Structure 1
């Protein structure tokens, strides 16, 4: 399995950052037809860390780890269509959870999951923590992984 890379936005090589953002737009805006501001300003926050997996110079999976006021937050989990089903996002999730626990011991980790993916996130210790909501006409549920 290819290695996981991670860095603050400022430390990500320009071409890699371009490919990472392109993947997020390809999955969330194009494939899922969700017209929303993918570049929301959170990637440049000082505590944000981007995670990705590359194969043959292409970013094939990515996510980001943020810090909210009372919890860490994982978001923008995306895998290229051709790379799905190989465990790459699971590899990223494990790395991000480990990093959050290392950086901010004793705090919870939140995420907003597309409802059909809630069982997948449960594999990493996340539980539904609130009512279902729609984001860009896609059903979502808030999920939380309590502090270890």
Structure 2
């Protein structure tokens, strides 16, 4: 099956949202290792997505293919991928062959509809900002009745 990590935590002070106790269940999935069935399973019951794109030039096609597959799977599962809270994490920004963020945005987030963050996950750079970004989008969606 591929590598999948799961984290379940309750941040202090998050409290209730629209009468529901809030809890974060975070799944980390290495897309190129996991099967499509595993990737679909991880989307079941999802409230938001951090789409982590590899900034390396040679990964551009794989990024786009993964994004298209994710959106197809969301539609198949009854979600509207346009309305689902999402952020983009452009990872591996420290590598010499990293595409410019502008080019990544054109390929993956052309309407600039979703927030994006530059990350270097191996050093922890930008990771928390990405998580906070998607949590903010999820909370906003929940408080607006989404």
What's the TM-score, normalizing by structure 1? 0.39
Higher relative contact order (CA 8 A, sep 6+): 2
Q: Which structure dedicates a bigger proportion of its chain to strand?
A: 1
Higher Rg: 2
What's the TM-score, normalizing by structure 2? 0.39
